[in-house]
Structure 1
Amino acid sequence: MGKNNGCLIIHGFGGSVHEVSPLAAYLQERGYQVICPTLKGHTGRKKDLREVTYDDWLTSAEEGLLQLISSCDRVFVIGFSMGGLIAMNLGIKYKIHGLVTINSPIYYWNLKRICLNIINGFKKRDYRNIRRYLKASRNIPLAALFQFKSLLLKTKPIIKNIKCPLLVIQTIDDDTVRSDSANYIYKKADTEKKKLKFYEQGGHLALRSIAAQSIMEDVRTFFGEIEEIAQD
C-alpha cells in the first residue's frame, strides 16, 4: 500500500489531537500517510481560542489536506465532533475519495445524558465527566462558541452537496452531540455510497472509549471498500 493512501484527521472544538490520536496510530500502522492538524487557537489557552474565527479552523485543516493531495493517490478525510463540520466543508470543496464523520454535531448538548452522567458520577464517585464539564465551561470563551455556531450554520445547508463516499458514525450515549445529528447528515448527503453506524456506548470521546477498536476497524473496512472500487 505504501503511501498511496492519505488520511486527514481533524479534532474537535476546544480539543486537541489527543482526541483522535488512537485512530491516527491505527491507520499509520496500516500504511496510511496521516496528518492530524492542530486547529488554530487550540493551544489550551483561553486567550488564543478567543482570537480566532472558524475560517482559521478551516484553513488549518485545509493546509494539511493539500499536503496529502500533493503526495497521495487517494485521500480520505475524517472529522471528529466539530472536526466533522470542517471535514464536510473540505469534502465538498475538494475531490476526496472518502469522508467520515464521528460524533459530529447538528443538534448538540444532550442535557438528559449530561444530568445522568453527573448523577452517576456522584453515585459511583467517578468524577471524570464532571471534571470535563467544568473544564469546558472554564476554557471555552463566548467568542469561540459564536464561531462554532457560525460554522454549524454555514455547514448545515451544504451537506446536500456531499458527493463522495460517506461514513457517519455516532455513539448513542454521547452527551455532547445528540444522536439524531447522524441521521440528519446521512439523509441529507447526496452520495450513492453512504453508511450510518451507531454504537451503544462510547460517550463523546469515542476514539478513547470502549468503542474505539470497533470504530477504527469499521473506518478501515470502509476505506478498503473504496480502494477496491478504485482498483476495478
Structure 2
Amino acid sequence: MENSKVGCLIIHGFGGSIYEVEPLAEYLAKEGFVVSCPQLSGHTGRIQDMKKATYEDWISSAEEELLKLKERADDISIVGFSMGGLIGVNLACKHDIKALVTINTPIHYWNLNRVFLNLIEDIKNRKTDNLQRYMRARKNSPVAAMYNFLLLLNQTKPLLCNVKCNVLLIQAKDDDTVRMKSVDYLYEYLSSENKKIKYYDKGGHQILRSQSADEVITDVTSFLKSLKSNIEFPD
C-alpha cells in the first residue's frame, strides 16, 4: 500500500507521565508517524487516583488509544518505556502489531548496586539529585499501585512467547531501576524472529531525558522506518 500511514503508540512508565517519552513522540511526529501518547489510567499526579487504578485499567487506557490510532494509521508499532513495555506486550498479543520497542522495561527491577553508586555520586558532588529522585519515586508509588505493578509483571511473563512481531529491546547499562538481566529475559522468551538488543552505556532509567536521548531516538526511528520500505516519509 503506497503512501500508507504508520502509527506509533508510545506508552509511559509506572507512576510517570507523557513527559518521560515526549522527546521521542515529538521527533516521530516530525518524521511523519501518526503518534499517540496515552496517559495511563490513574496517572494524574494525584496519589488517590494512583491508588484506585488497577493494572487492567492501565492496559485498557492504552488499548483505547490503540483502537483510535488504528482508525488513523495502516500499520501500528508500539513503543513502551519501562512498565509501558509490559503493557505493550499485552497489546501485541491481542492486536496486529508491526513492531514492539521496549525501553528499560523491567522483569527484574531495582539495581541496588547502581542505586548505591548514585548515592555515592551525590555525596562526592555535594548534591542530592539522586536521593530526591528516589524519595519522589517512593512517594508516587502507593502500596496498592505497587501491588498492581507486580500483578501486571506476573501476568505478562507467560505472554512473552506469544509476541511474534518485530522487536527492538533498548537497555541502559547504568539503569538503577531495571537490572540488566531483564533485557536478556525478554530476548530469550519473546518468540519474534526479528529481534535485537541495543545497549547504551549512559542514560539511566529516564534515558529519553538523558545525554543518550538523541541516539536512542535516532535508533528507534531507524528501526521503525526499516520495517516498511514502501511508505514515504517527509525529507
Give the SS at the match of 1:55.
helix
Cα distance in 2 for residues equivalent to 1:133 and 1:3: 44
Is the 2:4–2:231 contact (alpha carbons within 8 Å) kept by the matching residues of 1?
no
> Quick check: 1:4 aligned with 2:5?
yes
Corresponding position of 1:140: 141
Cα distance in 1 for residues equivalent to 2:230 and 2:118: 43
Tell me the alpha carbon deviations over residues 134-180 of structure 1, each in whole angstroms, 9 at most, x when there is no partner: 11112211000000000000001110111100000000100000011
Is the 1:166–1:193 contact (alpha carbons within 8 Å) kept by the matching residues of 2?
yes
Cα distance in 2 for residues equivalent to 1:210 and 1:230: 31
Corresponding position of 1:75: 76
Farther-moved stretch of structure 1 (118-127 vs 18-27): 118-127
Cα distance in 2 for residues equivalent to 1:157 and 1:228: 33
> Which structure has more helix as a fraction of its residues?
1
Give the SS at the match of 1:27.
helix
Tell me the alpha carbon deviations over residues 30-52 of structure 1, each in whole angstroms, 9 at most, x when there is no partner: 01111100001111111110011
Farther-moved stretch of structure 1 (216-225 vs 121-130): 121-130
TM-score by length of 2: 0.95
Is the 1:3–1:33 contact (alpha carbons within 8 Å) kept by the matching residues of 2?
no
Cα distance in 2 for residues equivalent to 1:213 and 1:222: 14
Corresponding position of 2:109: 108
Corresponding position of 2:213: 212
Q: Sequence identity, in percent?
A: 49
Is the 1:2–1:32 contact (alpha carbons within 8 Å) kept by the matching residues of 2?
no
Cα distance in 1 for residues equivalent to 2:126 and 2:8: 39
In the TM superposition, what is the alpha-carbon distance from 1:117 to its structure 2 partner?
0.4
> Quick check: 1:160 aligned with 2:161?
yes
Is the 2:7–2:34 contact (alpha carbons within 8 Å) kept by the matching residues of 1?
yes
Alignment of 1:1-232 (within 5 A): 4-228=5-229
Give the SS at the match of 1:71.
coil
Q: Give ranges in structure 2 of 5+ residues lacking alignment.
A: none
| Letter matched to residue 179 of structure 2 | R
Farther-moved stretch of structure 1 (221-230 vs 17-26): 221-230
Measured at CA, do residues 7 and 219 of structure 1 come closer, stay the same or move farther in structure 2, by a change above 3 Å? Answer: same
Give the SS at the match of 2:186.
helix
TM-score by length of 1: 0.96
Instruction: Answer 1 or 2: higher relative contact order, Cα 8 Å, separation at least 6.
Output: 2
Is the 2:5–2:231 contact (alpha carbons within 8 Å) kept by the matching residues of 1?
no
In the TM superposition, what is the alpha-carbon distance from 1:228 to its structure 2 partner?
2.0
Q: Give ranges in structure 1 of 5+ residues lacking alignment.
A: none
Cα distance in 1 for residues equivalent to 2:28 and 2:147: 33
Cα distance in 1 for residues equivalent to 2:164 and 2:230: 16
Cα distance in 2 for residues equivalent to 1:121 and 1:184: 31
Q: Number of residues paired by the alignment?
A: 231
Cα distance in 2 for residues equivalent to 1:20 and 1:44: 16
The alignment yields a C-alpha RMSD, in angstroms, of 1.5
